[in-house]
Amino acid sequence: MKNRQHQHRPASLRVGKSRRRSLYLLLLVLVASGLWWLLIHNSSSEDALPNPLLSWLMKIHGGAAMLTTFLAGTFLYTHIVNAWQQGRNRIAGAFTAGGMALIALSGYGLYYFDGEGLRGMAEWLHWIVGFSLPALLWWHIARGRKQRRETRKIVNFPHP
């Protein structure tokens, strides 16, 4: 009987279809509701009555933000920690995770910060990161898929 050394296969880093689609849908709702709110808010004059749609857009945006925060938390051990331990896609992953953290912190600031200066900085940060996050996520996904294809080529077709 041959003594075989057991090889440990690394945990899969792929995110399930339902979680992936849920994240895409929530990000779409967040970007759309945020952009729509921003357009209405900036197009109304200061002496006009507030548009009732603004409060509904904030409720939708806030609810989607809570769900996104929860969903992003489910990625922590099944995707982020495993990928980090395997040394996979660290740069794009760190930027994407950092963007998620910044968007949550700036959203907190929009809700709780008083004063024009600090709240104004939170607004700009929230808009910049919020509209950049889909591009960061796309970059992260594209790099991850490319690395996975390259790894498959190496494993399936070893060079002499």
Asked if residue 106 is part of any domain, the answer here is yes
- Give a yes or no: residue 44 inside a domain: no
Whether residue 97 lies inside any domain: the answer is: yes
* Domain assignment of residue 141, yes or no: yes
Q: How confident is the model at residue 77 (pLDDT cuts 50, 70, 90)?
A: confident
Q: pTM of the prediction? A: 0.81
**pLDDT value of residue 154:** 67
7 within a domain of the structure (yes/no):
no
- Mean pLDDT in residue range 105-109: 95
Using the predicted structure, report yes or no on whether residue 3 has a pLDDT greater than 80: no
Domain annotation covers residue 43: no
pLDDT of residue 136 exceeding 60, the answer is: yes
In a domain, 47, yes or no: no
Split into its structural domains, the chain has a count of 1
Q: What is the mean pLDDT of the chain?
A: 88
Instruction: Say which residues have a Cβ less than 8 Å from residue 12's Cβ, sequence separation at least 6.
Output: 82
Sign of CA dihedral 104, 108, 109, 111: positive
Where in the sequence is the domain holding 134, given as residue range(s)?
20-37+55-154
CB neighbour list of residue 18: distance below 8 Å, 6 or more residues apart: none
